Amino acid sequence: MPVRKAVSSHRGHKSRKQPARSRSTNAPGAGGSAEPSIGELDRRASSDCDLCKRNRTFKLPANVVQAAKRGRLLIFAGAGISTEGSIAYPQTLYERISSELGATLVAGSSFPAVMSAYEAEHGRPRLLQGIKSHLDYVEAFPEVELMVTRFHSEMATISGLQEIVTTNWDTLFETATGAEPIVIPDDYAFWDLPGRKVFKIHGSMTNLSTLVITKADYDKCYRRLSRGIIGSTLKHLLAVRTPLFVGYSFEDEDFNRIYRYLRREMRDILPRACIVTIDHRITPDTHDGAVVIHTDATYFMAQLKQRLVADGVMIGEDRFLGIAKRIRKISAAHSSLRRTTTVKAHPSVIFAYAYLDGQRHGFTRMLSRLRTGEYSHDHDVQHKAQAYDRLRTAATQRHMYSEAAYLQGYADALIYLLVPDDGRRFAPLYYAFGCGGGFRTLSEYRSALGHLASLHKASFREAKRWADRHLETTEPHHPPFLHPSLADID
């Protein structure tokens, strides 16, 4: 497949055009100031945008790129990439609880110490209610949700990112990336199921009893990690994945404790980790064995995605931009058929309807599953198209022509996703057996309708039987299910 141009995922901010370089000498003492560095130009260009101020120029680590390409990048996500990021709420949960404690709190207390003090003063139920109220704000206001899911939405379409470990309680990875949550040992019943998983080592808001909040909770949590199945799974993943830490700061006691735990448990077999943070206090000296990159985590993920698209590893999101328009065009074609052609007069039109249904179902599933990354890998989409084409061949051989037309439409929808824009204009909208392919316009299709009875007699007989069994006003429709007899086709 041709390499596709990557599309920036950043919205709502136009970078300023940098001034052309002067040919005059700007060395100190030569009548001008020294030429600014690339980093300085970045800072000047983004000085008016709170989000862009975080986007610091960096070089993608080769091990992270290779791990992402092979599906072996493991995301470790902290609260800084969701509700506790400074751009999301006017107050973090830590600040909110601290302000309620007031004078009873020792300045500089850690997160679990603050939560422990609040629980001791007000009780666990009130602490849980405060946490729930803080996180529920996301669902109440789409603007807030957009801000707190910037990272989640950016990483969602990268198909190779299948495992996430998070200390966050919220359900944003589940809703924004389609990840299946693994919270308690019983959830390991889902471990072998296909799809993305998120390991919530500090519990989930869907089960308040699992939340790790206070110092006592943290102590129990790390004992479980040392001895339990989730800790064993975590160590296994780290043995075969490259860890990428995002959303943590130097003062995040939880992060430091996790990192020390992993270093101690894994020793020399721990792959070299990458830490992406805007906290300049985190360095390779403070976190031994790690590559540290000081930039915004969402920006880092956007650059990684652009690299994967440029290298032909994943499909750029620009390929999905025309899908909604194509669905509207399919609906219009469906309406045109209904207005101009009847099944009684031209029975073979039932296959055109089935073909349109196959395309529409293929496209709508792409959009509904976009957040999972399922349709973001060239080879995966090609394999899906080939699988549906094999099913179409089997259906045709079994004289199941409605199924075959539907499957042809579904396969063509997958192919449509892969082809460049100049090829999409040739994509057919109408389908008929015996014509060597489809038709792009209704007039082309209608000109062939009168000949279909002789061009493909077997399919016409099936269509005629269908028309004889149904009323004139009955509109053919193929549901998004295949005939059970095709289930044995590999």
Per the CB < 8 A criterion, the answer to whether 54 and 296 are in contact is: yes
Instruction: Report, as an integer, the average pLDDT of 359-385.
Output: 95
Q: To which H or E segment does residue 198 belong?
A: strand 197-200
Task: Check whether 13 has a pLDDT greater than 50.
Answer: no
Maximum mean pLDDT: which of 17-21, 174-178, 190-194, 450-454:
174-178
Residue 95 CA to residue 102 CA, distance in Å, equals: 10
Per the CB < 8 A criterion, the answer to whether 145 and 129 are in contact is: no
pLDDT at residue 233 in the model: 84
Q: Which residues contact 78 (CB under 8 A, 6 or more apart)?
A: 84, 166, 167, 168, 245, 246, 247, 248, 252, 254, 255
Residue 165 CA to residue 159 CA, distance in Å, equals: 16
Instruction: Report, as an integer, the average pLDDT of 249-264.
Output: 74
Please provide the DSSP assignment of 348-361 as one string. THHHHHHHHHHHHH
Domain coordinates of the chain in residue numbers?
A: 54-310, 317-486
The sign of the dihedral angle between the CA atoms of 109, 112, 116, 119 is positive
C-alpha distances in angstroms, 395 versus 350, 391, 398, 405, 485?
16, 6, 5, 9, 9
Which of 159, 161, 156 lies closest to 172 in space, CA to CA?
Answer: 156
pLDDT at residue 276 in the model: 96
Instruction: Report, as an integer, the average pLDDT of 75-82.
Output: 91
Which of 153, 65, 82, 70 lies closest to 370 in space, CA to CA?
Answer: 153
Strands 180-182 and 163-166: unpaired
Which has the higher per-residue pLDDT, 258 or 360? 360
pLDDT at residue 453 in the model: 87
Check: pTM over 0.75? Answer yes or no. Answer: yes
Task: Check whether 24 has a pLDDT greater than 50.
Answer: no
Instruction: Report, as an integer, the average pLDDT of 80-100.
Output: 84
Q: At the top level of CATH, which class does the domain 54-310 belong to?
A: alpha beta
Phi, then psi, of 140 in degrees rounded to 5: -75, -30
pLDDT at residue 116 in the model: 94
Task: Check whether 11 has a pLDDT greater than 90.
Answer: no
Instruction: Report, as an integer, the average pLDDT of 355-375.
Output: 96
SS3 64: helix
Per the CB < 8 A criterion, the answer to whether 385 and 414 are in contact is: yes
Half-sphere exposure of 105 (CA within 13 A, CB side): 22
* Cβ burial, residue 479 (10 Å; 0-12/13-18/19+): exposed
CA angle 82, 84, 89 (to 5 degrees): 95
Per the CB < 8 A criterion, the answer to whether 422 and 340 are in contact is: no
